[in-house]
Each structure stands twice: as C-alpha cells, then as structure tokens.
C-alpha cells in the first residue's frame, strides 16, 4: 500500500508540503480536497440560504486570484457538495471543475472571482454552467485591496476581517 507521499511521487511530508505550497498542478486534487474539507468541517453541510452563510463558507478558503475562481457546487437543498479552485486561463481546468462538480452531485453553483479577473473569462466560465442548465445562484467578486467580497444577490459588500461564525 502506498503512502500519501508516494501517491504524489514524494519521499516525505516536507516534499509534499513544498509541492502544495508552490501550487504544483500534480497535487491539485489533494489541495482541492483540503480546501473543501476545511470549509465543510466548519460549515457542517449547512444549507447556503443567504449571502451571509456563503461568505462564512468562503471565508474559510483561499480567496480567488486574478487567474483563479472558486466554484462551490451545491445540491438542490443548497448544501455544499464540492468546492474547487479553477484556473480561468485554462479552459480544460474549468471543464474538469464542471465535470467533478456534477459527479459530486452538484445541481447549482456559487461563483467567486477576483475583481481583476478578465471579464470575458468570467463570462465564458459562467456560460458553461448555464448552458447545461446549472443555475448560478450568486456570483461574488473579491476585492483584494479592501479584503471584501461583493454579493450580486445580496447587493452589498462583506468585510472578510469581520468575525463570522457558523452555528
């Protein structure tokens, strides 16, 4: 039986840690699982029924960069079933994200993008979900300079340095 380190071609935990820290593409599935686990443990599968709940959920993950977006797949009860960071510059990465979210049981999505992400890439990614009938429940914009997320549905900013607790 292979150890986790061997599974990713590493000799020890330090080497695997370096690969995760440097965002090596070969450990992306592990990184995605860790992000989902952190959010899911804190969230306890609570349904996302309002923007505040989504903000609490996203706050426990790494915020989107210029070239990445966060996709939260939810089931029909708006309970998170899968979370993945996706590279906007790689169309196959977005398609893989969609495929994995569907396999996890996702029927709708919440999207979060960086304010500096190219609008055409965001629109293309969003259209992929909509073309197959997957509803985009809300799209959030992350503002790095102010550390805030803007919810289109909530029509307001959420300060990420504020204390949010999931009960």
Angle at 52 between CA 48 and CA 142, to 5 degrees: 105
Q: Higher confidence at residue 118 or residue 34?
A: 118
Domain ranges of the chain: 11-159
pLDDT for 152 equals 83
pLDDT value at residue 167: 35
pTM over 0.75: no
Low-confidence winner among 4-8, 32-36, 41-45 (lowest mean pLDDT)? 41-45
Per-residue pLDDT at 41: 44
Work out whether the CA dihedral 112, 117, 18, 100 comes out positive or negative. positive
Q: Is the pLDDT reported for residue 66 higher than 90? A: yes
Name the band, by pLDDT with cuts 50, 70 and 90, for residue 54.
confident
Domain 11-159 homologous superfamily, CATH: Cytidine Deaminase, domain 2 (3.40.140.10)
Report the C-alpha gap between 74 and 166 in whole angstroms: 17
Q: Is the pLDDT of residue 164 over 50?
A: no
Residue 50 has pLDDT above 50, yes or no: yes
Q: Is it the case that residue 37 has pLDDT exceeding 90?
A: no
**Among 86, 76, 165, 163, which Cα is nearest to 121's?**
86
Average pLDDT over all residues of the chain: 83
């Amino acid at each position: 039986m292979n150890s986790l380190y061997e599974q990713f071609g590493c000799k020890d935990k330090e080497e695997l840690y370096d690969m995760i820290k440097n965002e090596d593409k070969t450990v992306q599935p592990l990184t995605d699982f860790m992000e989902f686990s952190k959010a899911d443990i804190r969230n306890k599968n609570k349904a996302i029924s309002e923007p505040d709940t989504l903000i609490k959920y996203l706050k426990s993950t790494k915020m989107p960069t210029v070239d990445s977006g966060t996709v939260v797949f939810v089931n029909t009860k708006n309970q998170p079933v899968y979370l993945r960071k996706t590279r906007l510059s790689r169309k196959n990465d977005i398609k893989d994200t969609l495929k994995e979210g569907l396999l996890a049981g996702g029927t709708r999505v919440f999207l979060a993008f960086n304010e500096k992400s190219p609008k055409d890439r965001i629109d293309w990614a969003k259209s992929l979900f909509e073309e197959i009938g997957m509803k985009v429940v809300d799209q959030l914009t992350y503002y790095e300079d102010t550390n805030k997320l803007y919810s289109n549905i909530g029509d307001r900013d959420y300060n990420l340095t504020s204390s949010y607790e999931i009960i």
